[in-house]
Amino acid sequence: MSTVRIAEKHETEKLAMRDAYCATLLNLATDNDKVVVLDADLMSSMGMAPFLAKYPEKTFNVGIQEANMIGVAAGLSATGLIPFAHTFGPFASRRCYDQIFLSVGYSKLNVRIVGSDPGITAAFNGGTHMPFEDMGILRNIPSITILEPVDTVMLKDLLVQTAGMYGLFYIRLLRKNAVKIYEEGSTFEIGKGVTLKEGKDVTIISTGIMVKEALDAAEKLAAEGISARVINMFTLKPIDKELIIKCARETGAIVTAENHSIINALGSAVAEVLGENIPVPLERVGVKDLFGEVGPVAYLREKFELTAEEIVIKAKKAIARKK
Amino acid sequence: MLSEDKIQELKILAINIRMETVRAMGTLGFGHLGGALSIADTLAVLYGGIMKIDPKNPKWEERDWLVSSKGHAGPAIYAALALKGYFPVEELLTLNKPGTHFPSHCDRNLTIGIDMTTGSLGQGVSTSVGVALGHKYNKKDNFTYLIIGDGESQEGQVWEGVSFAGARKLDNLIAFVDNNKQQLDGFTANIHDTLDFKAKFESFGWDAVDVDGSDVEQIYEAIQAAKLRQGKPSVIVLDTIKGKGVSFVEGKEKNHHVEISKQQMEEALAELQVELSKVMKS
């Protein structure tokens, strides 16, 4: 059960997400001999040098072969190990979709796949490395759990939780510094969204780097007399259907906000729940069926309309559509 | 060295695997017959003389593992498992029927004794490498046996796994290439020639030998030598005949997946029975 304390100030964290990842895996590996890590030649980018230095025997860097990495992780898990396998998001999803689907998912094995540099945060690696589709394609795999931790506090808690669970997990991970959303010691329930701010006119359901934009949007809306509720939907699958229905009933309009294509991830999952249960106006903020491109995050944020301003526009539109 | 009795026993097991495979697929009316028959002798050696297994305790921690990356050889493996006592032989006749435990392709969650799920070609190579690596990590001396199809080796993932196993010097991994020279659309040499397997594996740091894949004695000796080899994985390249032992498919083009009439099934069983009698008299 979750015990969430929301940070009073939402500032950029001092600890990078990748360093929190490494520190948490070090702790997990120390406590549990079955925990091992895999990477496909991106350990340095992931800041995993301390892990490699301490536990070379628990580190399997396969080199540049993502499909093989997933299969090897599946095989390791079949012998009782608890693998965490990392590479960049596009290579952790579309490059090895069939391996994730069959060698892990269909085989009912026990692997945590970590895809870093979500969406526009791939920045200077450009369109080839910019996953707007990773969660979308993986969501089709039966039984997969898809998580997008928003800050280091949530990341640590979710890593520890998944290490103790069995199955296929995709953890979408910002590698650099996140904006602090939660106070240290907060714990989260997988499959349950967190209400960050109450509101009655519209609900903004957000994930990843869009959570801070959603909070900023709620402030801007408040200044105009509009009361917006803000949800951090950090579990894409299984989606928190009850919370979505409750928000639809209580606020009558929904906006989704994600650093991902609006096709087949948060926007779609929310639309499915609304369409089948309580059709209220829905507007989706996210990438509108476009390929990524190279550039600084600030530029990409504007280019792909992943901003608080865009959320404000969509919130007003959704409210205006209420009958 | 294998005794004459043991050689006879393995030959009998191989024929029985072929008979049960023909019976299961023939009862259904179709199946991946060619590639199941080509690997039957190797399965007989593995289950009849090599693998550390306990049919009464299929998940035994000390067991040797078998991953058939050519997942469509499943029915031949199910036959071997049934003949070793993992489950009643009659159950094989439920092959591919609704709700069966015996699907076309190997499934670790459906069939007792199947260690890994395969079917999308190439993937069993990586998963078997992971299993072998896991046994090393866990400081266990289990062997992992891996069967790769010759046509399957056209998949790039095969060579990702082979390369990694060579780099990791996984001497607890012993692979077989079922080099039956055919794939679904015809003769491999006419579609995408797979060239010299021995040379290819050796270049990835494996020990490789060519053997007659229809000769249980040669297969047995090659595996025993591979088990003793340290510091590198081993591959046994099996010179096999797709459809071996059943004349309406043996060596015939496009025998990967065939329709089997009741008459063909009866004729095939009769010819295998003749072969069985010959072996038993020898």
Tens digits of residue pLDDT in A239-278: 999 999 999 999 999 999 999 999 999 999 999 999 999 9
Residues in A touching B128 (Cβ below 8 Å): 75
Same domain for A67 and A23, yes or no, is: yes
Distances, alpha carbon A312 to alpha carbons A203, A223, A227, in Å: 11, 11, 11
Q: Where are the domains positioned within chain B? A: 4-281
Same domain for A168 and A207, yes or no, is: no
Residue A178 domain-assigned (yes or no): no
Helix (H) or strand (E) holding A268: helix A266-277
Determine the average pLDDT of the residues in A52-68.
Answer: 98
* CA angle, B17 then A104 then A194, to 5°: 155
SS (H, E, C) chain B: CCCHHHHHHHHHHHHHHHHHHHHHHHHHCEECHHHHHHCHHHHHHHHHHHCCCCCCCCCCCCCCEEEECCHHHHHHHHHHHHHCCCCCHHHHHHCCCCCCCCCCCCCCCCCCCCCCCCCCCCHHHHHHHHHHHHHHHCCCCCCEEEEEECHHHHCHHHHHHHHHHHHCCCCCEEEEEEECCEECCEEHHHHCCCCCHHHHHHHCCCEEEEEECCCHHHHHHHHHHHHHCCCCCEEEEEECCCCCCCCCCCCCCCCCCEECCHHHHHHHHHHHHHHHHHHHHC
**What is the rounded distance in angstroms from the CA atom of residue B163 to the CA atom of residue B74?**
26
Q: Does B164 touch chain A (CB under 8 A)?
A: yes
Residue from the list A68, A75, A76 with its beta carbon closest to the beta carbon of B157: A68
Residue A76 has pLDDT above 90, yes or no: yes
Counting every residue written for chain A, the total comes to: 323
Torsion sign (Cα): A109, A113, A119, A122: negative
Q: Does A116 touch chain B (CB under 8 A)?
A: no
Q: Give residue A144's pLDDT.
A: 98
* Token pair for B11: 């030959």
Q: Say which residue the tokens 């062997």 belong to.
A: B143
Q: Say which residue the tokens 């997933």 belong to.
A: A70
Determine the average pLDDT of the residues in A59-78.
Answer: 98
Distances, alpha carbon B222 to alpha carbons A314, B87, B235, B240, in Å: 69, 29, 9, 15
What mean pLDDT value characterizes chain B?
A: 97
Residue A116 has pLDDT above 80, yes or no: yes
Q: Which of residues 49-88 of A touch B (CB under 8 A)?
A: 57-58, 60, 62-63, 65, 67-81
Same domain for A152 and A206, yes or no, is: no
Q: Give residue B282's pLDDT.
A: 81
Q: Does B64 touch chain A (CB under 8 A)?
A: no
Residue-wise pLDDT for A208-231, tens only, equals: 999 999 999 999 999 999 999 999
Residue B245 Cα, gap to closest chain A Cα (Å)? 33
Residue A84 has pLDDT above 90, yes or no: yes
Same domain for A133 and A94, yes or no, is: yes
DSSP A151: S
Last residue of a domain, one of A173, A202, A220: A173
- Whether A103 sits inside 8 A of B138 (CB atoms) is no
By three-state DSSP, how is residue A187 classified?
Answer: strand
Same domain for A222 and A148, yes or no, is: no
% residues pLDDT > 90 (chain A): 99
Residue-wise pLDDT for A128-144, tens only, equals: 999 999 999 999 999 99
Q: Give residue A3's pLDDT.
A: 93
Q: What is the largest CA-CA distance in chain A?
A: 62
Residue A158 domain-assigned (yes or no): yes
Number of Cβ atoms within 10 Å of the Cβ of A7:
17
Residue-wise pLDDT for A174-187, tens only, equals: 999 999 999 999 99
Contacts of B29 (CB under 8 A, 6+ apart): B259, B260, B261
A166: domain CATH number is: 3.40.50.970
HSE of B186 in the Cβ direction (CA atoms, 13 Å)? Answer: 5
Q: Say which residue the tokens 């910019």 belong to.
A: A130
Residue A241 domain-assigned (yes or no): yes
Same domain for A25 and A168, yes or no, is: yes
- Range of weakest confidence among A33-37, A146-150, B202-206, B251-255: B251-255
**What is the rounded distance in angstroms from the CA atom of residue A39 to the CA atom of residue A61?**
5
Q: Give residue A54's pLDDT.
A: 98
CA neighbor of B150 nearest in space, from B189, B92, B208, B104: B189
Amino acid at A90: P
* Token pair for A139: 């969501």
Task: With 0.90 as the threshold, say if the pTM is over it.
Answer: yes
Whether ipTM exceeds 0.95: yes
Contacts of A74 (CB under 8 A, 6+ apart): A99, A103, A104, A107, A109, A111, B126, B127, B130
Residue A187 domain-assigned (yes or no): no
Distances, alpha carbon A178 to alpha carbons A11, A18, A46, A211, A299, in Å: 8, 10, 15, 11, 18
Same domain for A117 and A247, yes or no, is: no
Residue A258 domain-assigned (yes or no): yes
* Token pair for B87: 């489950």
Q: Does domain B4-281 have CATH number 1.10.3720.10?
A: no
**What is the rounded distance in angstroms from the CA atom of residue B196 to the CA atom of residue A62?**
26
Determine the average pLDDT of the residues in B23-36.
Answer: 97
Torsion sign (Cα): A258, A263, A264, A270: positive
CA dihedral B18, B113, B258, B176 (to 10 degrees): -80
Residues in A touching B135 (Cβ below 8 Å): 79
Residue A323 has pLDDT above 90, yes or no: no
**What is the rounded distance in angstroms from the CA atom of residue A243 to the CA atom of residue B78?**
47
Residue A102 domain-assigned (yes or no): yes
**What is the rounded distance in angstroms from the CA atom of residue B21 to the CA atom of residue B6?**
22
User: Are A235 and A144 spatial neighbours (Cβ–Cβ below 8 Å)?
Assistant: no
Give the confidence band of B190 by pLDDT, cuts at 50, 70, 90.
very high
* Token pair for A39: 């990477």
Domain span at residue A154 reads: 17-173
Residue A184 domain-assigned (yes or no): no
Residue A1 domain-assigned (yes or no): no
Same domain for A21 and A158, yes or no, is: yes
% residues pLDDT > 70 (chain A): 100
A202: domain CATH number is: 3.40.50.920
Same domain for A292 and A166, yes or no, is: no
Determine the average pLDDT of the residues in A29-50.
Answer: 97
Peptide bond into A50 cis (omega under 30): no
Same domain for A135 and A63, yes or no, is: yes
Residue B135 Cα, gap to closest chain A Cα (Å)? 7
Q: Give residue A250's pLDDT.
A: 98
Count: domains in chain A: 2
